[in-house]
Amino acid sequence: MAFTKNKKVLNFVAESAELTQPDKIVWITGDAAQLDRLKAEAVASGELIKLNENLLPDCYLHRTKVNDVARVEDRTFICTQKKEDAGPINYWMDPRQAYELTHEIARGSMKGRTMYVIPYAMGVPGSDFAKIGIELTDSIYVVLNMNIMTRMGKQCLDALGKDGDFIKGLHAKCDVDAEKRYIMHFPEDNTIISVNSAYGGNVLLGKKCFALRIASYLGKNEGWMAEHMLILGITYPDGVKKYVAAAFPSACGKTNLAMLIPPKHYLDKGYKVECVGDDIAWIRVGDDGRLWAVNPENGFFGVAPGTNEHSNYNALQSTKRGAIFTNVALNTDDMTVWWEGLTKELPQNVIDWTGKPWNPAKFDKKDKSTYAAHPNSRFTAPAANCPCLSPEFNSLTGVPLSAIIFGGRRASTTPLVYQSRDWNHGVFIGSIMSSETTAAATGATGVLRHDPMAMKPFIGYHVGDYFKHWIEMGKKVKNPPKIFNVNWFRQDEHGNFMWPGFGDNMRVLEWILKRCDDNPVDAQETAIGYVPYPEDIDISEMDYEISEGKKFGIEDLKSILAVDKAKWAKEAEEIEAYYKNSIGSRIPKELTDSLETLKNNCAEK
Ligand code: GTP
Ligand code: SPV
Ligand code: MN
């Protein structure tokens, strides 16, 4: 039964079924009984492994194929009529060719399989932010993950009514052949087609494909923004609440910052941090001239390794019920899960992420091939589980932003925190972000690359126009958020992180929010922007050992706040080359002006 009279939906389903030839079509209603049947079916087929019902109720483990463990940026395309509209940092394919290619691959691929029709909303249905998608898939894993990550089911069809429009998504798992894997976006048609993958970011089409790539394109045309940002709220001891959004590249700390637990002396004073979102923010101009943000998702697709009771208690708690784990290790002693960093002791009876018995004796921290869990193993967890979830999570209007923070993984050069001189300079700071690559995408890790606004893999149009859109948005807001840059990843000469990170990042957030006050704390004006006076960052009651016997102190703080002009002069040269060679002529003048200022500020006098 179809549950809708919307012709566009019915046609989309009929055409896709005609193409892929499923044996059966099942409409996902969001009904618990239906989802339970699907879970049972996936367990019976081996697609999911049921975990210990007492310790991890309603939780499952899934293993992907070993060739299918991360986003595939070089097989992800923006298919606009004109190549130049996709811009210089996207892979582009002619839409006709892209449809033909993926249709050929998907043709008949659901024979003997079931096609599931998933109506879902990004954003809370009923809010001005919300948008509806329909994902067609032949994967139960996708259905169950979409149920966690989005607000899904029959109410989304009701919201569409008889002729509402929606984002079309077709996912066909095919043979999970890496050579025929394509993640195609047709922003001009509101359409996504994904073939030959079953990994999160490639197949949960509401997430990166819709909520970032397609949505960023919609946002440019409609005057709003879709960003790769966490949103968090800080409550002060006097009850005042402030919100910040932060853009860090994949696997660079958004989930961790979004759920941070402040150091004890902050808690004792009455500070509280609450999570609104950990990956994506949709941002609009409010009637009050401020920017307002919502998290369009309904769950977390978080990095597992490194998550533990101390580093991210709230994320760990979120995985204790109704979660799906992907490519983590299975502890067969009690049918629970394990990953590197979960516990100090290595468990003895473990099946690794590929399904083979694991030998803890061979574990070598420096050699990822000896790991039990894949470095990009993840959990999908309902947001409702999160102990620090903000009461504003389901707000129809979102939360007003006091600050926007950019940040990357930089071993050197970029200080712990600095503030832009104004909005346009802030956009410049976002545009020049570089970060070391991580396991969230296929390819080498640890390679420094440009990742403007942490959106390099997610901008659904021309990057120069995207920068321009940021500049334009600044003109529309009377009270724009202040813009900052942070770097939790500065290393000493031995490769140790110099800043403790995690909960201690609260100390930097506090300074950032003080800078947003009407009477801000003073700051030093430097070549790159405003940098804190070291004594204005609270490092009291801090207990961090950078290396054995070396405790973090004020000298270390000074050194990670220092702005090395010679290094920045080099950085500026490099940015100039990046602008010229990788962004090209659509770069807004406001940004080249900021670059000139940076160059002048760093020039030897
Ligand atoms: P995506 O889900 O891929 O977009 O990533 P994310 O930005 O949410 O990253 P996440 O918070 O999951 O962090 C990824 C990795 O960075 C984990 O291995 C964390 O342990 C590590 N990490 C997060 N915050 C910090 C920090 O403050 N300091 C240090 N040194 N590591 C951190
Ligand atoms: C990221 O890679 O930034 C993620 C995970 O958040 S994925 O959904 O796979 O894109
Ligand atoms: Mn992400």
Nearest ligand, measured from the Cα of 255: 1
Mean pLDDT of the region 303-322:
97
275: nearest Cα among 265, 285, 287, 261: 261
Q: How far is the CA of 279 from the centre of ligand 3 (A)?
A: 5
The Å distance, Cα 3 to ligand 2 centre, comes to 32
Q: Which of 99, 107, 119, 110 is nearest to 9 (CA)?
A: 119
Ligand 1: residue of 204, 228, 232, 256 to mutate (most ligand atoms within 8 A of CB) is: 256
The answer, yes or no, to whether residue 37 has pLDDT greater than 80, is: yes
pLDDT score at 3: 85
Atom of ligand 1 nearest to the CA of 249: 7
pLDDT tier, 1 (very low <50, low <70, confident <90, very high otherwise):
low
pLDDT digits (tens, 9 = 90+) for 76-111: 999 999 999 999 999 999 999 999 999 999 999 999
| DSSP 8-state secondary structure symbol assigned to residue 209 | I
- CB of 201 shorter than 6 A to ligand 2: yes
Residue minimizing CA distance to atom 5 of ligand 1? 251
Instruction: Output the residue whose Cα is nearest ligand 1's atom 20.
Output: 306
DSSP string, 380-402: EEEGGG-TTB-TTTT-SS-EEEE
The DSSP output letter for 580 is I
The closest alpha carbon to 440, from 328, 319, 302, 337, belongs to: 302
In the chain, residues under CATH classification 3.40.449.10 are 7-47+71-222
Does any ligand 2 atom lie closer than 6 A to the CB of residue 200? yes
476: helix, strand or coil: helix
Give 17-20's long-range contacts (Cβ < 8 A, gap of 24+). Answer: 17/110, 17/115, 19/103, 19/106, 19/107, 20/106, 20/107, 20/108, 20/109, 20/110, 20/115, 20/138, 20/170, 20/172
Q: Which residue's CA is minimally distant from atom 22 of ligand 1? A: 253
Return the structure tokens found at 559.
């050194």
**Atom number, ligand 2, closest to the C-alpha of residue 378:** 5
Please say whether the beta carbons of 292 and 397 come within 8 A: yes
Q: Does domain 300-378 have CATH number 1.10.490.10?
A: no
Region 7-47+71-222: CATH code: 3.40.449.10
Q: Which of 252, 280, 301 has the most ligand 2 atoms within 8 A of CB, as the residue to mutate? A: 301
Ligand 2 contact via 250 beta carbon (within 6 Å): yes
* 215 Cα: distance to centroid of ligand 3 (angstroms): 15
Q: What is the CATH number of domain 227-299+391-602?
A: 3.90.228.20
CATH 3.90.228.20 location in the chain: 227-299+391-602
pLDDT band at 2 (very low <50, low <70, confident <90, very high): confident
The pLDDT of residue 108: 98
Task: Give me the mean pLDDT over the 114-120 stretch.
Answer: 98
Instruction: Tell me which residues have their CB closer than 6 angstroms to ligand 1.
Output: 248, 250-256, 278-279, 302-303, 305-306, 311, 440, 488-489, 497, 501-502, 505
pLDDT tens, 481-516? 999 999 999 999 999 999 999 999 999 999 999 999
Instruction: Establish whether residue 440 lines the binding site of ligand 2, counting it when its CB lies within 6 angstroms of any ligand atom.
Output: yes
| Catalytic residue list | 252
* 297 pLDDT higher than 90: yes
Q: Which ligand is nearest to the CA of 302?
A: 1
4 CB-near residues (< 8 Å, 6+ apart): 10, 119, 157, 160
The percentage of the chain sitting over the pLDDT mark of 70, rounded to a whole number, equals 100
Q: Where in the chain is the domain with CATH 2.170.8.10?
A: 300-378
Cα distance between residue 485 and residue 475, in whole Å: 21
Distance from the CA of 306 to the center of ligand 1, in angstroms? 8
- CB of residue 552 inside a 6 A radius of ligand 2: no
In tens, the pLDDT along 459-468 reads 999 999 999 9
Band (477; pLDDT cuts 50, 70, 90)? very high
Tens of pLDDT, residue by residue over 323-380, are 999 999 999 999 999 999 999 999 999 999 999 999 999 999 999 999 999 999 999 9
